Structure 1
């Protein structure tokens, strides 16, 4: 029996500098069944629930860094629930949408409470709901989700509007330094706070206008890596394993987390869905960017994480690549778990993850 005490005794494998080691040597993931352009990454692993180490895994570019887009929002939820357990936040605390906190895309009603915002953040990928919660929790506390696991190549610190303001050239704090891309610790926290101050100065429609002009005239994929929240397929998979198997939350917070994460997209697109008794997932998209991640437990007790990443795609709007992405994810899952017995209907079509970057 895997008691909480036993689970707590299973440490991460870290280097002397406190960072998680690179992905273990695994079999290369099967090639994508259908063409996908740009840089691609994939990590699929069955996880030992006691050690949180891979039992069997496949990967493609598991240690390469990719933009996370909205996939990072699950870390905001995890940090939010830590604050809830600490007694520093109530699920009934309410917020209005203001010029300072409105991000791109649709946004929640004024007076929405924390619980409702958390649902919109995951189920609707609502950027404004995310930014309200991210700032309420604190920029560094969301980054602490990665730092506490030794995920040194994972950046989670910027709310959505902040990275768009920076990429559109509207942040003097970002434009005035070359240190941001490699900043860590207190230096990164200080710079992030300055970028966040810049991001609050502009109306959302003006940010959208400047961002559109940027993408039409001078965008390069390298800029995405300078600005966006980032991770590697392996590090994101590691975060997922801890998020769902060892979150360090109270039973009430775990229920909140699982109920909300189950609303994320992905289960309907998995070939293994008839054999799944719990699923939690999150996807994201941007200009030439597509990400999908998920955790599921099968009816016979196996735990699986997956992380798919695409960057620099030929398509500016990448949601139509969803079927091809999940064809590859399913191929990776079958390489780890084997094929599903019985007939399985093809996965559903593309979800709506929000059109923050048209």
Structure 2
């Protein structure tokens, strides 16, 4: 992928890491942290199955259906790993064939959650509550980390920046404009009980650095947050986001640098980030791609902008042609995510979700080739084609 863009260098302490990258230390590693059992990290999000029978709890989709084990990663990957790759029935959206590793494990989503923001935005455009020509200014309150759009950007321009450039400020402006709960509703309507999509980017970083007391451990809000749903979750998220908007982006950047320098705890990621499982997020993407419930105009907008996210050039599904691609990647401190959907030349529909948490590498973008080597191996297994193997580059 070449050198990481400045916006990605400037999350957490990526400004410092960029110095190492320019010196050619792309393969530098630290000792991997010892990760706690995910069941102890977010127990409420894990507990969506009725005991004994494997049935879903009321209102929840439940665990992933039976799938073959994912092939071993062709190139080594550290930390907790999750993968779901499936060919889906375009009529029922159910998996026809799938391979998986830890498909029901809960992982931070990072910027892949922006795919849900795009869907929520277009639903509001269709509802008439958001006009494509509406324009927004960047303020101290709404500016998040990394690069940011010029003042006066309209809704369409912000969706492009969100997907193509992974612009956090563009994302937060759109997320707040449609309403925090409307992005979360996309998951709730599908019964994705392990999926949290309610927080703008600036809000989760403010929570992680302790700049807000709303979700602090030991407080009433912090104790209820993981299990909160509905109005309680919205109330806590809104209070946290109000605190986030009081913080300057440069101050937040400094606090993140200090937080990571002091040694981060992977449990913090699962406490404050937007979350999902490989299976649940793939389910959301399947619906967004094949059954979004959008008007023809909004559908065309979705197809064009969703295709700008990263992943199309990295897919190597054997002899199958990749068409109708929609995807996104995300990275953070010791975490990396890639997910998307596409259609093959012979009309098969494929969805994939890769998640890495607690990696040995602090800056994870150089793991992209390794991630897609594994994704492509999974796609080959699902489609019954020869494994293309990792790129030689």
Fold conserved (TM > 0.5)?
yes
Corresponding residue number in structure 1 for 2:362:
316
Q: d(CA) in 1 for partners of 2:176 and 2:225?
A: 19
Instruction: Decide which moves more: 207-216 or 176-185.
Output: 176-185
**For 1:194, which of 239, 247, 258 is the aligned residue?**
239
The superposition leaves residues 76-125 of structure 1 with CA deviations (integer Å, 9 ceiling, x where unpaired) of 00000010000001111000100000000000000000000000000000
**Aligned equivalent of 2:255:** 210
8 Å Cα contact 2:369/2:390 also seen in 1: no
In 1, Cα distance between equivalents of 2:284 and 2:71: 23
Per-residue CA deviations over 1:207-228 (Å, capped at 9, x if unaligned) read 0101111111141111100000
Rounded Cα–Cα distance in structure 2 between residues aligned with 1:15 and 1:26: 17
The one of 25, 37, 42 aligned to 2:66: 25
- 2:313 aligns to what? 268
State the partner residue of 1:288. Answer: 334
Alignment partner, residue 6 of structure 2: none
| Pairs within 5 Å for 1:117-156 | 117-156=158-197
Correspondence for 1:338 among 384, 388, 393: 384
The SS at the match of 2:293 is: coil
The answer to whether the Cα contact below 8 Å between 1:118 and 1:130 also exists between their aligned partners in 2 is yes
> Residues 31-75 of structure 1: CA distance to partner in whole angstroms, max 9, x if unpaired?
111110100000000000111100000000000000000000010
Segments of 5+ residues of structure 2 without an aligned counterpart are 1-54
Aligned equivalent of 2:207, options 166, 181, 186? 166
RMSD: 1.6
What is the alpha-carbon distance in structure 2 between the residues aligned to residue 346 and residue 316 of structure 1? Answer: 23
Normalising by the residue count of structure 1, what TM-score does the alignment of the two structures yield?
0.91
**In structure 2, the residue corresponding to 1:297 is in which secondary structure?**
strand
Per the alignment, residue 8 of structure 1 pairs with none
**Do 2:164 and 2:308's aligned partners in 1 also have CA atoms closer than 8 Å?**
yes
| Greater displacement, 272-281 / 172-181 | 272-281
Alignment correspondent of 1:233? 278
Deviant stretches of 4+, over 6 Å: none
Deviations 1:258-293 (A, max 9, x none): 100111111111112861121110000000010000
**Are 1:179 and 2:196 matched, yes or no?**
no
TM-score by length of 2: 0.83
Distance 2:57 2:75 in 1: 41
Provide the C-alpha distance between the structure 1 equivalents of 2:204 and 2:191, rounded to a whole number of angstroms. Answer: 23
Deviation per CA, 1:172-221: give whole Å up to 9, x if none. Answer: 21213321122111111110000001001110000010111111114111
CA distance in 2, matches of 1:174, 1:210: 17
Tell me how far apart the structure 2 counterparts of residues 283 and 199 of structure 1 sit (CA, whole Å).
24
Count, aligned residues: 334
